[in-house]
């Protein structure tokens, strides 16, 4: 889900042509079964009958018999989580925290998705600060009061921004960690209670 591109309209004629091509080649069905896209229990005759019936009832030009949700490609998980967090109809505290599908906090993908921009900002600030330091070493800017004041102000702002960013990330990370731990404990209690209730109901029978 997370690796799929989103919001790309599907070409009805192209998908129909592809389906026709696959229905004419048993080797395509075998490949699909090898990669577990289609159950191995489906025979070639059943697959050909299914595809023929499907193409008979679908107009590739209008797709009017297909639900509108399938007129577009799937959304990657990051976009789906964003929509799920801020959609007015389903907005809630739990949805805002978890999104559509909660992700582990310690995975590489999670770190890159949420904090890669921060390293980009630090890299930009480092380049600008280094350039200012080189400028202060030149004869034309060494005695320039405005440039010196700008360099001092940028340096101070960069330090404050770096400290604030580290603190903010730490607070958010800690809050998410505590939230997920509490939610996991709460869910564990619910699961245990369901198991006990099921066991009691079986014993009573």
* Per-residue model confidence as pLDDT tens digits over 124-150: 989 998 998 888 888 888 888 888 899
Last-in-domain residue among 42, 70, 98: 98
Q: What range defines the domain where residue 192 resides?
A: 108-204
Region 164-187: mean pLDDT is 85
- Collapse the DSSP code of 9 into the 3-class scheme (helix H, G, I; strand E, B; otherwise coil) and give the result: strand
pLDDT for 21 equals: 45
Residues 41 and 70 reside in one and the same domain:
yes
Q: Is residue 171 part of a domain?
A: yes
Burial of 2-15, coded b for 16+ CB within 10 Å and e otherwise, reads: eeeeeeeeeebeee
Which residues on neighbouring strands pair with residue 70, listed in sequence order? none
Query: Is 88 found in the same domain as 25?
Result: yes
Are residues 4 and 75 in contact, defined by beta-carbon separation less than 8 angstroms? yes
Residue 9 has pLDDT above 80, yes or no: no
Same domain, 153 and 117: yes
Same domain, 71 and 144: no
- Report the domain count for the chain: 2
Q: How high is the pLDDT of residue 172?
A: 81
- In 3-state terms, what secondary structure has residue 45? helix
Q: What is the mean pLDDT of residues 161-168?
A: 88
193 vs 109, higher pLDDT: 193
Give yes or no: residues 115 and 88 share one domain: no
Residues 158 and 183 in one domain: yes
pTM: 0.46
């Amino acid at each position: 889900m997370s690796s799929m591109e989103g919001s790309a309209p599907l070409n009805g004629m192209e998908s129909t042509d592809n389906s026709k091509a696959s229905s004419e080649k048993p080797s395509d069905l075998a490949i699909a079964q090898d990669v577990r896209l289609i159950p191995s229990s489906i025979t070639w005759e059943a697959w050909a009958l299914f595809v023929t019936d499907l193409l008979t009832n679908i107009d590739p030009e209008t797709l009017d018999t297909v639900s509108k949700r399938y007129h577009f490609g799937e959304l990657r998980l990051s976009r789906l989580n964003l929509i799920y967090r801020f959609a007015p109809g389903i907005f809630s505290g739990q949805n805002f925290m978890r999104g559509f599908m909660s992700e582990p906090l310690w995975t590489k993908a999670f770190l890159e998705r949420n904090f890669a921009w921060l390293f980009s900002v630090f890299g930009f600030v480092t380049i600008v600060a280094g350039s200012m330091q080189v400028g202060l070493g030149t004869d034309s800017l060494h005695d320039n009061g405005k440039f010196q004041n700008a360099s001092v102000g940028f340096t101070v702002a960069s330090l404050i921004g770096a400290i604030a960013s580290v603190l903010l990330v730490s607070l958010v990370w800690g809050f998410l960690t505590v939230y997920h731990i509490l939610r996991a404990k709460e869910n564990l209690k619910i699961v245990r209670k369901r198991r006990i209730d099921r066991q009691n109901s079986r014993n009573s029978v």
